[in-house]
Amino acid sequence: MIRLRGNAIVGQSGGPTAVINQSLVGLIEAAHQLPEIETLLGARYGVNGILAERFIDLFQESKETLEAVAQTSSAALGSVRKKPTTDECAQMFEVMRKHNVRYFFYIGGNDSAETALLVNQMAVETRYELRCFHVPKTVDNDIRETDHCPGYGSAAKFIANAFIGDNLDNRALPGIKLNIIMGRHAGFLTAASALAKERADDGPHLIYLPERPITREQIRDEVAEVYQRLGRCIVAVSEGLIDAGSATQQTFTEVILEEATEIERDTHGNIQLSGSGALGDWLANYLRTELGSKLRVRADTFGYLQRSFPGTISDVDAREARICGRMAFEFVTQGDIDGSVVMRRHAHNGVYGIEYQYTDLANVARDTKKLPEHYIAATGNYVTPDFLDYVRPLVGTLPTVGVFDGISESSKGEMGATQ
């Protein structure tokens, strides 16, 4: 087998995760092993760095620095959200030709896979010999083909920790609590809140996924039912939840923003409802209006904390992300192969394990994956035990919760507590 001799470029793209640098460092380590690779260039801010020739020489970095970067959240090279145009692709090949680049690695989500696919297709058309490989990362876990994505396990661990704490908080000062979670089209991250439930009356009590459109009235009734029964209610809400009552199946956020537009005109544009807290605040106000103004209803929007929080990185996630980076390099140097790394799960005697394979870029680019049907409870407002079996090995150990034996499981709280 004759390998392409030349340089390589790696870039990071899309929203950062807690372990995207693990993949980068895994890739650097693998590149070091290969005499055909003279230099591995790190592009600053993804494809923008290629266009602007903003590179750093990753072979100059020490072992110590690499290990420190691997354990650091977010994208060390800088990231970008950008799909290059045809002209920009041509410009990128100019830059690559100039630097004798024959390998292009892009670590990112489905959009980044699409960029890699585009670059690959353009390279074929313009007869520029280039190997393109995509390394999956996303907290949303919505990339097709792979069992799960590096980045998801750590974000899910953050969500689980947050709900363990919030369930205990809500147990101490009962009320209705809404938590808004990332994941525009896929409910994987919102579903991970179920990891916090250990005892029968633990929260989350309701999980609202983008895969299950629902009306505001249904939400109200389901929350009221839980509150009647337990004296409190914790709800996990996906930011992409769809309003089944809207004519065109819009998200609640879109519906709220539309309702807000008229108001903006009334008030000279000073007040807008866009911004991360909008859905949670609106839903809290709606429930207060419908169920009783004296009810303690609170909403938190987890926001950007979910994707780069360094305090709750999953060991499994970090290890797998590292291997994904390494495997991308190994696959691409096995022949004329372009593709995306795929993790396939196997369980020998019930022990979780992963086999690393690859698939065509076209199989992961553009379209995303949703939470499979068998992970969603028949009621539509919770997950199945199957989902918990799926997610547990990705997250690893979670804090244990101690409760006094003298406190019965069903601890209907005092009403009227404030804050």
- Active site annotation includes 140: yes
Q: Which residue has the tokens 């009334």?
A: 266
Cβ distance to a second copy smaller for residue 298 or 392 = 298
DSSP element (H, E) containing 12: strand 6-12
CB of 246 vs a second copy, minimal distance in Å:
15
What CA–CA distance (Å, rounded) separates 194 from 384? 9
HSE-up of residue 163 (Cα within 13 Å, Cβ side) = 32
In 48-173 the beta strands, taken as DSSP E runs, fall at 55-57, 101-108, 131-136
Which position among 1, 2, 35, 62 is part of the footprint of a second copy (CB under 8 A)?
62
308 binding a second copy? (CB under 8 A) = yes
Task: State the greatest distance between any 2 C-alpha atoms of the chain, in Å, as a whole number.
Answer: 75
Task: Classify strands 55-57 and 37-43 as parallel, antiparallel or unpaired.
Answer: antiparallel
**Among the listed residues 107, 10, 119, 5, the one whose alpha carbon sits nearest the alpha carbon of residue 57:** 10
357 binding a second copy? (CB under 8 A) = no
CB of 43 vs a second copy, minimal distance in Å:
11
The 72-111 contact track toward a second copy, x by CB under 8 A, reads: xxxxxxxxxx------------------------------
276 binding a second copy? (CB under 8 A) = yes
Cβ distance to a second copy smaller for residue 213 or 280 = 280
217 binding a second copy? (CB under 8 A) = no
Catalytic residue among 57, 111, 140, 336: 140
Q: Is 416 helix (H, G, I), strand (E, B) or coil?
A: coil
Helix axes 86-98, 110-125, angle to 10 degrees: 70
188, 214, 279 from 242: Cα distances, Å: 15, 6, 12
DSSP element (H, E) containing 11: strand 6-12
CB of 30 vs a second copy, minimal distance in Å:
17
Which position among 29, 36, 38, 61 is part of the footprint of a second copy (CB under 8 A)?
61
168 binding a second copy? (CB under 8 A) = yes
Which position among 68, 90, 244, 388 is part of the footprint of a second copy (CB under 8 A)?
68
56 binding a second copy? (CB under 8 A) = yes
Instruction: Single out the segment in contact with a second copy by CB under 8 A; choices: 11-19, 127-135, 316-324, 364-372.
Output: 11-19
Instruction: Single out the segment in contact with a second copy by CB under 8 A; choices: 145-153, 204-212, 300-308, 347-355.
Output: 300-308
Task: Classify strands 37-43 and 6-12 as parallel, antiparallel or unpaired.
Answer: parallel
What CA–CA distance (Å, rounded) separates 115 from 364? 11
**Residues of span 379-418 touching a second copy by CB under 8 A:** 399-407, 411, 413-414, 417-418
The 176-195 contact track toward a second copy, x by CB under 8 A, reads: -x------------------
Cβ distance to a second copy smaller for residue 65 or 126 = 65
What CA–CA distance (Å, rounded) separates 208 from 58? 43
273 binding a second copy? (CB under 8 A) = yes
291 binding a second copy? (CB under 8 A) = no
**Residues of span 244-263 touching a second copy by CB under 8 A:** 259-260, 262-263
DSSP element (H, E) containing 328: helix 315-332
Count of residues interacting with a second copy (CB under 8 A): 95
Q: Tell me phi and psi for residue 200, to 5 degrees.
A: -55, -35
Cβ distance to a second copy smaller for residue 162 or 226 = 162
Which position among 11, 16, 325, 339 is part of the footprint of a second copy (CB under 8 A)?
16
269 binding a second copy? (CB under 8 A) = yes
Q: How many CB atoms lie within 10 A of CB 273?
A: 18
**Residues of span 106-165 touching a second copy by CB under 8 A:** 157-158, 161-162, 164-165
Q: Is 86 helix (H, G, I), strand (E, B) or coil?
A: helix
What CA–CA distance (Å, rounded) separates 208 from 214? 8
Instruction: Single out the segment in contact with a second copy by CB under 8 A; choices: 9-17, 119-127, 219-227, 376-384.
Output: 9-17
Q: How many CB atoms lie within 10 A of CB 268?
A: 7
Answer whether 383's CB lies under 8 Å from 204's CB. no
Which position among 11, 44, 146, 314 is part of the footprint of a second copy (CB under 8 A)?
44
CB of 414 vs a second copy, minimal distance in Å:
5
27 binding a second copy? (CB under 8 A) = no
CA 5 to chain centre: 35
| Residues that are catalytic | 140
